[in-house]
Amino acid sequence: MIVTILLNTIISAIFKIFPKYNIDNLQAIVANYFACVVIGSLFMGHFPIDHISITQAWFPWSLLMGVGFISVFNMFAYCTKVDGITTSTIANKLSLVIPVIFSIFLYSEHAGAIKIAGILLAFPAVYLTSRVKGTDNKAQSLLWPTLLFIGSGLLDTLTKYSEHNFLPTQDVQATFTVHVFASAALIGVIVVTTLVATNRIKLHWRNIIAGICLAIPNFFSIYYFIRMLNSDFLQSSAAIPVNNIGILVASSLMAIFFFREKVTSYRVIGLLLSVVSILLIAFADIHGRGL
């Protein structure tokens, strides 16, 4: 879990740096997916995509997750542009409630008072930690934040469902991850090709290089997230909230100490609540399995 949190924090840092070098997010994201396929193949020692892939039970789910990956990634970027970083971050992180609910009902994971308290505490923790000063005071539409909330939550749920039903070994998990990125890359190429053909964007090598830099932490963040869900360290109803809040805490600390973002009382309180939330969820799961 620590590796997953650190890798996601690195991804946040890379996106933070992109505007400084005029990186086009869409082109970098698509290049990143292709690079992830290469990295995954090198990691496995062979290219795992062949004619047998389509016969595997997990194959349709890898296609569906590929669609989800590129959709949610770009939805987050659009929501950030239109509604601001505060709204998009809250919508993205609060989505943890969706896979938690599914885990409790689909996999009969026990949800006791301590775990529920920790999960509920995550809401104010995420809000306060994510709260930043807006650029204006105009009312924001709830459409895109709502779609991002649902999309992010369903994607985490789909990841857990695929792991639980089709990915019993590390080799299968790595193979599945490569196929997910390949699906996202194929969709991305279609979108970018259409935009280039209609003269809406122009390709540039710096975006390709940026995508390659993004791919290394991105591939392993997904791979180790699936590994985490497959482990017995925490039930998924506890692992997903702890993972999401941990990413938020680590990203906030990175923003404060490395990017010199302003430290506010809201952020400090939010970080403290996040730590308490993580401790409650982890304690309930490890020591009581839902006390």
* Percent over 90 (pLDDT), the chain: 33
Confidence of residue 139 (pLDDT cuts 50, 70, 90): very low
Task: Report which of 187, 223, 233 is spatially closest to residue 39, judged by C-alpha positions.
Answer: 223
Task: Confirm if 13 and 193 have CB atoms less than 8 A apart.
Answer: no
Rounded to 5 degrees, φ, ψ at 17 are -85, -25
- pLDDT at position 188 is 93
- pLDDT at position 133 is 55
Paired tokens of 12: 């946040």
Rounded to 5 degrees, φ, ψ at 241 are -60, -45
pLDDT above 50 for 87: yes
- pLDDT at position 280 is 81
pLDDT above 80 for 77: no
Task: Report which of 226, 271, 232, 220 is spatially closest to residue 3, judged by C-alpha positions.
Answer: 220
* Percent over 70 (pLDDT), the chain: 85
pTM: predicted TM-score of the whole model, two decimal places: 0.80
Rounded to whole angstroms, the Cα distance separating 81 from 66 reads 23
- pLDDT at position 249 is 79
- Please tell me which residue, 215 or 129, carries the higher pLDDT value: 215
Task: Report which of 125, 156, 121 is spatially closest to residue 4, judged by C-alpha positions.
Answer: 156
Rounded to whole angstroms, the Cα distance separating 127 from 171 reads 38
H/E element holding 131?
none
Paired tokens of 219: 């591939």
Convert the pLDDT of each residue in 34-59 to its tens digit. 999 999 999 999 999 999 999 999 99
List, as one string, the DSSP characters of 143-174.
Answer: HHHHHHHHHHHHHHHHHHHHHHHH--SHHHHH
Q: Is the dihedral of CA 225, 248, 134, 210 positive or negative?
A: negative
Q: Where are the domains of the chain?
A: 2-288
Note the residue count of the chain: 291
- pLDDT at position 290 is 44
Task: Confirm if 10 and 216 have CB atoms less than 8 A apart.
Answer: no
Convert the pLDDT of each residue in 209-253 to its tens digit. 999 999 999 999 988 888 888 776 667 767 777 787 788 778 778
Task: Confirm if 282 and 238 have CB atoms less than 8 A apart.
Answer: yes
- pLDDT at position 291 is 47
Burial of 167 (0-12, 13-18, 19+ CB in 10 A): buried
Convert the pLDDT of each residue in 152-205 to its tens digit. 889 989 988 998 899 989 899 999 999 999 999 999 999 999 999 999 889 999
Q: Is 90 helix (H, G, I), strand (E, B) or coil?
A: helix
Determine the average pLDDT of the residues in 109-136. Answer: 72
Place of tokens 């005071």: 137
